[in-house]
Amino acid sequence: MKKVEHIGIAVNSIETAGDIYTKLLNTGIYKVEEVASEHVKTAFLQTGPNKIELLEATHPDSAIAKFIAKKGEGIHHIAFEVEDIYAEMQRLRAEGFVLLNEEPKRGADNKLVCFVHPKGTNGVLVELCQSV
């Protein structure tokens, strides 16, 4: 894994949270993108070398809607950038981690992504990202 690619934060409203994070980080949202397959709307802010992904549910079945219903708004996942997502998925499976998708899927901001179940990572949902 090369570096932390982004931190995902579950929010009720991108508009409201976007204003807060714009003030907090003193930088604007550079991209808003809906990912229909994940039932989410995303907004990205860059602070130095780090990216924050705000995630708003677009459907009650969304992982974000379920997460907020259980735990409230807050940090939802940590995403790591990888060079070769297929190789990394194979390595993690061999190490015994439970992957939440068989194949990489299309994420936001021009990435292929795959999730690792939080039950095997001390309660933290991990996302792998490869730029495409």
Ligand X SMILES: CC[C@@H](C(=O)O)C(=O)SCCNC(=O)CCNC(=O)[C@H](O)C(C)(C)COP(=O)(O)OP(=O)(O)OC[C@H]1O[C@@H](n2cnc3c(N)ncnc32)[C@H](O)[C@@H]1OP(=O)(O)O
Q: Report the C-alpha gap between 24 and 18 in whole angstroms.
A: 10
Q: Are 104 and 30 in contact (CB under 8 A)?
A: no
Q: Report the C-alpha gap between 116 and 128 in whole angstroms.
A: 8
Nearer to Co ion by C-beta: 96 or 129?
129
Out of 3, 4, 7, 8, the residue judged to bind Co ion by CB under 5 A? 8
Residues in 61-80 that interact with Co ion by CB under 5 A:
79
Binding of ligand X at residue 111 (CB under 6 A)?
A: yes
User: Which among 18-26, 43-51, 83-91, 120-128 is the span making contact with ligand X, rule CB under 6 A?
Assistant: 120-128
Binding of Co ion at residue 104 (CB under 5 A)?
A: no
Out of 48, 60, 70, 122, the residue judged to bind ligand X by CB under 6 A? 70
